[in-house]
């Protein structure tokens, strides 16, 4: 995979540009009459990687949809840089905030370069059409995600890992300072999972993009996130650094899973070792 340093200067955020602040307060999130979250508060650390973890149906993806303005809160408000999210014009918001949903689907026959080029749509207006800056941003995004040689291929003929990188390339080309990623490693084998998470880390470390992602793998969340938000039944149970959040007590409360926590031998971050009932006696003896 190409280094992010290859991206042209015009695609990088200015060092003088402040990190975006994304906050939510008193949220009530629901689908019709089914309430998913009530009185939910969240402050996303700017310029950092935040991982949202929790059991299935706890409200992780629903919260991400609300942060992306894909789901309007029944109550409460979300602010981006002090402005109510619902009051920001759509095109302006698309230049500030990008989202990669679960299992996105591209139109049949769409090529990789055409998909990535769609990331530049928020930058187009009737007086500003496709420019050299757009062209450079697209090719830089393809290079950064290792997709240059596949640019002419259609998205539907790619492998799962390649397809996911193509969608991430589109988000990279969009050039937003905030990226929301819903389970970006879904359907990927382990090697491609690490590849994608390394790329996300590059975007954060080298361009200070604020990243919020939903992850299922607690050990990967600990390795790659600066800040972890643990959710249960639509509420934030714990948030903070991996060391503060991923404890045996919190894992038991959030997932109903007994475990042992030790240091990851590679990263030194917390590593979760689940205890199944078949190994319970052995774990108790230890």
- The pLDDT tens digits of the residues spanning 38-49 come to 999 999 999 999
When pLDDT is averaged across residues 78-106 and rounded to a whole number, the result is 88
Output DSSP code: residue 51. Answer: E
Of the listed ranges 163-177, 218-232, 245-259, the least confidently predicted one is 163-177
The pLDDT-based confidence of 15 (bands split at 50, 70, 90) is very low
Kindly indicate the confidence band of residue 5, based on its pLDDT and cuts at 50, 70 and 90: very low
| 140, 5 contact by CB (below 8 A) | no
Distance CA 242, CA 219 (A): 9
Instruction: Read off the pLDDT band of 18 (50, 70, 90).
Output: low
Please give the average per-residue pLDDT across 121-128, as a whole number. 69
Asked whether the beta carbons of 238 and 244 are under 8 A apart, the reply is: yes
Please give the DSSP secondary-structure letter assigned to residue 216: S
Measured between alpha carbons, how far is residue 170 from residues 129, 145, 192 in Å?
Answer: 18, 10, 18
* Residue 65 neighbours by CB under 8 Å, 6+ apart: 71, 182
Whether the predicted pLDDT of 113 surpasses 80 = yes
More confident residue, 260 or 168: 260
Q: Which contiguous run of DSSP H or E holds residue 138? A: helix 132-144
The pLDDT, as a whole number, for residue 272 is: 96
User: What distance in Å separates the CA atoms of residue 150 and residue 220, rounded to the nearest whole number?
Assistant: 28
Residue 245 pLDDT exceeds 50: yes
Tell me what the mean pLDDT of segment 149-155 comes to.
93
pLDDT digits (tens, 9 = 90+) for 32-71: 889 999 999 999 999 999 999 999 989 999 999 999 999 9
Q: What is the pTM of this model?
A: 0.84
Least confident of 140-144, 203-207, 280-284: 280-284
Choose among 207, 188, 166, 270: nearest CA to 17.
207
- Calculate mean pLDDT across residues 160-183: 88
pLDDT value, residue 284: 55
For 212, residues 6+ apart whose C-beta sits below 8 A from its C-beta are 22, 44, 50, 52, 64, 67, 178, 179, 180, 181
> Which 3 state secondary structure label does DSSP give 150?
helix
Q: CA–CA separation, 99 vs 35, rounded Å?
A: 23
d(CA 138, CA 117): 6
> In the structure, what pLDDT confidence band is assigned to residue 22 with cuts at 50, 70 and 90?
very high
Rounded to whole angstroms, the Cα distance separating 137 from 12 reads: 10
Tell me the average pLDDT of the chain: 86
pLDDT classification of 110: cutoffs 50, 70, 90: very high
pLDDT at 99: 87
Given CA atoms 11, 12, 13, 14 in this order, what sign does their dihedral have?
negative
Share of residues in the chain with pLDDT > 70 (%): 89
Mean pLDDT, residues 9-27 taken together: 65
Distance CA 256, CA 18 (A): 40
Neighbours of 249 (CB within 10 A): 9
Q: Please, which residues have CB within 8 angstroms of residue 102's CB and are 6 or more apart in sequence?
A: 61, 182, 183, 186
């Amino acid at each position: 995979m190409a280094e992010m340093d290859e991206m042209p200067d015009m695609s990088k955020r200015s060092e003088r540009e402040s990190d975006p602040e994304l906050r939510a307060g008193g949220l009530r999130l629901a689908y019709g009459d089914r309430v998913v979250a009530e009185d939910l508060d969240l402050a996303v650390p700017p310029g950092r990687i935040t991982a949202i973890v929790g059991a299935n149906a706890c409200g992780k993806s629903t919260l991400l949809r609300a942060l992306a303005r894909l789901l309007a809160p029944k109550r409460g408000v979300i602010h981006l840089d002090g402005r109510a999210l619902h009051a920001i014009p759509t095109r302006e918001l698309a230049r500030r905030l990008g989202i990669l949903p679960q299992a996105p689907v591209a139109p049949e026959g769409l090529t990789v370069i055409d998909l990535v080029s769609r990331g530049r749509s928020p930058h187009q207006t009737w007086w500003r059409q496709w420019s050299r800056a757009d062209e450079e941003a697209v090719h830089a995004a393809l290079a950064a995600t290792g997709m240059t040689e596949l640019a002419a291929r259609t998205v539907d003929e790619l492998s799962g890992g390649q397809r996911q990188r193509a969608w991430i390339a589109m988000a990279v080309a969009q050039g937003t300072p905030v990226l929301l990623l819903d389970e970006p490693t879904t359907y990927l084998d382990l090697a491609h999972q690490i590849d994608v998470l390394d790329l996300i880390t590059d975007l954060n470390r080298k361009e200070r993009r604020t990243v919020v992602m939903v992850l299922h793998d607690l050990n990967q969340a600990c390795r790659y996130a600066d800040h972890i938000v643990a959710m249960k039944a639509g509420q934030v149970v714990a948030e903070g650094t991996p060391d503060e959040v991923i404890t045996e007590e919190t894992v038991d409360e959030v997932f109903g899973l007994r475990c042992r926590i030790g240091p990851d031998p590679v990263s030194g971050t917390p590593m979760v070792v689940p205890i199944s009932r078949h190994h319970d006696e052995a774990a108790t003896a230890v």
